[in-house]
Structure 1
Amino acid sequence: MTELYRFDVETIDGKHVNLGLYKNKTLLIVNVASKCGFTSQYDGLEELYKKYADRGLVILGFPCNQFGSQEPGSESEILDICRLNYGVTFPLFAKIEVNGDRAHPLFVYLKRTCPGLFGSEKIKWNFTKFLVDPAGKVVKRFAPTTSPAQLEQEILPLLQPKA
Structure 2
Amino acid sequence: MEMFGDNTFTVLGFSCNQFGLQSPEANHETLNVLKYVRPGGGFVPKFPVFGKVEVNGLNEDPLFAYLKESLPFVNPVIGDIKKLYWSPIKVSDIPWNFEKFLITADGLPFRRYDLHSPIKKVEEDILQML
Instruction: Quickly say closer, same or farther: Cα 1:93–1:147, change in 2 above 3 A.
Output: farther
Match of 2:29 among 68, 72, 77: 77
Selected match of 1:129 from 78, 89, 100 = 100
2:79 aligns with none
**Aligned partners of 2:71, 2:16: CA distance in 1, in Å?**
19
Q: In the alignment, is the contact (CA less than 8 A) between 2:12 and 2:48 conserved in 1?
A: yes
Q: 1:148 to 1:78 in 2, by over 3 A?
A: farther
Partner of 2:129: 158
Alignment-derived partner of residue 6 in structure 2: 54
Say if 1:147 and 1:70 are closer, same or farther in 2 by CA, change over 3 A: farther
CA contact (8 A) 1:83 1:89 kept: no
DSSP 3-state at the match of 1:65:
coil
Gaps spanning 5+ residues in structure 2: where?
77-90
Residue 58 of structure 2 corresponds to residue 87 of structure 1: no
Please state how far the C-alpha of 1:87 moved relative to its aligned partner: 2.2
Answer yes or no: is the 8 Å Cα contact 2:31–2:44 preserved in 1.
Answer: no
TM-score between the two structures when normalised by the length of structure 2:
0.78
> How far apart, in 1, do the equivalents of 2:53 and 2:118 lie?
22
- 2:16 paired residue among 64, 69, 74: 64
| Deviation at residue 146 of structure 1 after TM alignment | 2.1
- Give the whole-Å Cα distance in 1 for the aligned partners of 2:23 and 2:95: 15
Structure with larger RCO (C-alpha < 8 A, sep 6+): 1
Write the distance in 2 (CA, Å) between the matches of 1:54 and 1:147.
23
In the alignment, the residues of structure 2 paired with residue 106 and residue 69 of structure 1 have an alpha-carbon distance, to the nearest angstrom, of: 21
Task: Give the distance between the partners of 2:9 and 2:125, measured in 1 at CA.
Answer: 12
Partner of 2:68: 111
Structure with higher helix content: 1
Q: Unaligned 5+ residue runs, structure 1?
A: 1-48
Deviation, structure 1 residue 68: 0.0
Q: How many residues align?
A: 111
Residue pair 1:128, 1:141 contacting (<8 A) in 2 also:
yes
Q: Secondary structure at the match of 2:12?
A: strand
Q: Comparing both structures, which one devotes a greater share of its residues to strand?
A: 1
State the identity as a percent. 37
Instruction: Return 149-158 or 79-88, whichever deviates more.
Output: 79-88
Runs of 4+ in 1 over 4 A off after TM superposition: none
